[in-house]
Homo-oligomer: A and B are copies of this chain.
Amino acid sequence: MTYCVGVILESGLVLASDSRTNAGVDQIGNFRKMAVFERPGDRVIVMLSSGNLALTQGVVALLEQRAQMHQQNIWNTASIYDIAYLVGETLREVQKRDGPYLLQHNIDASAGFILGGQIYGERHRLFNIYAEGNFIEATQDTPYCQNGEIKYGKPMLDRVITYSTGLMEAAKCVLISFDSTMRSNISVGPPIDLLCYERDSLKVALQRRLGDHDSYFDNMREQWGAGLKRLFSELPDPHWNI
C-alpha cells in the first residue's frame, strides 16, 4: 500500500510520500514514489504515485523518455492543468497496454497520482489524478489531496490545515499524519520523501528523505505520542454513575 499527501498553501506546497510497496505480505520492498521535474526559474513539477508499481513507474518513465521527443511534454507545457491531462492520458495508455494481462491474473490495474508545482507565468497548483485518468484540482476550501491509505491520517489534516497555514507548520502536520498512518497500517512505511516548495520561487525549497532514524521525526513522534496520552488522561472520565 501507499500513503501520499499534497498540501497547497498561500505560501507554497508540501508534498510527501512513503516508500513501502508490497505484493502480498512476503514481498515487501522500498521504492521511491516521488518524481521531481525541476528547471529553476521555469518550473517545478512533483508527482506522487500510488497503486500498481509497474503502472506508475511506466507512466513516469514514459513522461521522462518523451520529454525530448513529443510536441507536448512535461518540460514545454505551459500549464499544470495540461500536465495533469498529459499524466492522465499516459496512465490510460499504460493501463490499456498492461491492464488486460493483469486482469487475467486478477491483479488490480489501478494507479493514481498527486501532481503539484508551479510553471512560470502561472500560480502554484495541486491536482489529484484518479485511476480513470480524470482529475480534480485542490482549492482553498479543501487545500489538500491524499492517495493510498488515506483514512488514518485524515483527522489531523482536517483539524489543522487551512490555506493560510505556514509551510513548516503544514510539513509538521503532514508528518503527524504519516505517524498515525504508519502506526495503524504496516503497509505504509519509511523512508518518507518530503518536499517543500515556496510559492513563486520556481525552485525546490527543501527535499528530504526521512529514514528509519531521523532525529527530528523520531523526537516529534515520541513527543506527539506522549502528549496525546497526557492530553487523553487529562480529559475527565464520563461522570455518569455506573
Chain B residue with the shortest CB-CB distance to A239: B216
Number of copies: 2
A107 lies within 8 A of chain B by Cβ: no
Q: Which residues of B contact A173 (CB under 8 A)?
A: 232
Q: Which residues of B contact A156 (CB under 8 A)?
A: 228, 232
Number of A positions contacting B (CB below 8 A): 44
Interface segment out of the listed A37-45, A82-90, A96-104, A147-155: A147-155
Q: Across the A-B interface, give the 10 residue pairs with the lowest CB-CB distance, nearest first.
A: A151-B151, A168-B237, A227-B231, A155-B180, A154-B184, A205-B242, A206-B242, A155-B184, A151-B152, A171-B238
With A152-B154, A227-B231 already in contact, 16 other A-B pairs whose C-beta atoms are closer than 8 Å: A151-B151, A152-B152, A155-B155, A155-B180, A155-B183, A155-B184, A159-B183, A159-B229, A160-B229, A171-B238, A175-B238, A206-B240, A206-B242, A208-B240, A220-B236, A228-B228
